[in-house]
Chain A
Amino acid sequence: MPTRLSDRAALIERHWQAQARVRRLYTILGIGGLIVTVALSLCFANEANAGKFFDRLPHFLDFTGDLVPRDWLEVGRAMFDLPSPYDDGSLKYNYPEGRTYLTPVLYIPEYIDQMAITLNIALLSTVLGTLVGSVLSFFAARNMMPNRLVRWPARRFMEILRAFPDVVVAGFFLSFLTVGPIPAIAAVSIHSIGALGKLFFEVVENADMKPDEGLKAVGGNWIERVRFAMLPQVLPNFASYFLLRLEINVRASTIIGAVGGGGIGELLRLSISQNHGAKTIAIVILLFGTIVTVDQFSAWLRRSLVGSDAFLATT
């Protein structure tokens, strides 16, 4: 049997009910809006796509079936450029043609070579990004650069570098450079400078200022303050962000490669579009292995550098 409410309690109850109603209304509106947006987006995407989703879905596994090699040893042959017993002169089985000979017998298999190039692009871009970004970060940090006239341009400059889509940078460099890895290096490093510079100057701003005060007190100049007060403090964090960026850049340089910058990405795109099953699987395995290795290595190194915090991948 319900307890009779006093007038004031009834008022409270009514008020609560009204608020609950409003809240429920907002929830329903929000969910309804979301559903409508999703439905419209899906319809739009389906219309814009070259193949319609439900038309293509039954054929989805056809294509996957095309990628299955004739026998699974083929994958190993493709990866290490060994001659294939099915070689019919077509591009599908011409594994030995990609060899790069170091000596008359010793060669580097094509995919491993290209993977090394992609990795090297990533490493070089990360190194360049770290070098330029760390210099810029000291100009952008409030505690090291009280002068707004320097800090403001430094920050805006890094923002612009960060905001520019890397396709555009790569495409622009491709338009006037002879082909080679430089467009990819330029695109990835320019983005790295912006992204790392931002992370770095936040590290610098959070640094302990006491060593800096000590150096200032004994008359250290700006470079000495950076070298002896800041660098020892921030270097572990810089190194951690360097490794994090390296993980991201390995992926980015592969993607830029697929878009037209060479390296393993381009080979993957070609082989996948030409239905070269064994080649595709070899490259995917190689890429997968490399990415996992780089990630694990970098995670291990970062854990030993800065401890297990700050493990969130940020772009």
Chain B
Amino acid sequence: MIDWLLLFSNAAQEIISPTTAAYALAALGLAIHFGFTGLLNFGQAGFMALGAYGYAIATLTFGFPVWGAILFGIGASIVFALILGVPTLRLRADYLAIVTIAAAEILRLLFTTNTFEPVTGSANGLQGYKGGFEELNPIPEGTYGFGPWVYNEYDWWVRIFGWGLVALAALITWRLMSSPWGRVIKGIREDEDAVRALGKNVYFYKMQSLIIGGVFGSLAGMIFILPRAVVPSNYQTSLTFFIYAILLLGGAATVLGPILGSVIFWVLLSFFSGFIARAVEAGWLPFMSSVQAGQLRFILVGIAIMVIVIYRPQGILGNKKELAFVK
């Protein structure tokens, strides 16, 4: 029989898991790019990879302290944003999409290739970079929590740090988007020529937006690797599309939407994968092997997202009024 309690408690754990926080932060960066500025960035996985590898390489190869490694990862993503933005932001939006999707793949392949194995660890990736972060942990040793959320001191530290960053990023985004700067950014999304005609340096604003969203992406990459190892295959194009799914689910031009979207996405994913695995074990799906069942969860999540996008295209937190005017 299926242990429903275990299923629900596993799903509930995802609500505060660091992976959920990482996806939320990456989606928030994408909200700045796509939802507010109208930049079609299809390379958010690349920004996340830069944050993850930047942190790990700075720690392992250069021996940087934690703050130095974080700054190194941020710096790498700023350079990446400049490289992507300088040639493409003067062009139409679709060029940025093509360039970002290709650049993110180039990055992943560079991290995977054997040539740089001593630094990147090639396909095996990197580990053993968590020492400095562990030392900063103010929580005394032990196990804390209640209900399904019982973790040791490191797990709590990762969660607090990760969600703290998400909260800070959300606060910054909210402040920015309710300022005159945010007004220019949203104007650019609607029609950049009109904004240009009003004397705003559109190119400069788009570059700022690309950098801020990219930095959020790289910070997300750092949160993402705290509970696991750095593995290049985590940064495939599908990661970008999961983040887009989260963004559309929550509401593209909202601040809290990406966060709520990430929570819902991971709770659903965890619930479906647990449910299907156990349903196969219990013999409810006799036509299916457990390997096939592993893939089925993405199909179910896909269907759930399709339903939401069809019946609530502005996202869960989006403004219904906007819908009347979608071109």
Same assembly: no
Instruction: Identify the B interface with A (CB < 8 A).
Output: none
Instruction: Identify the A interface with B (CB < 8 A).
Output: none
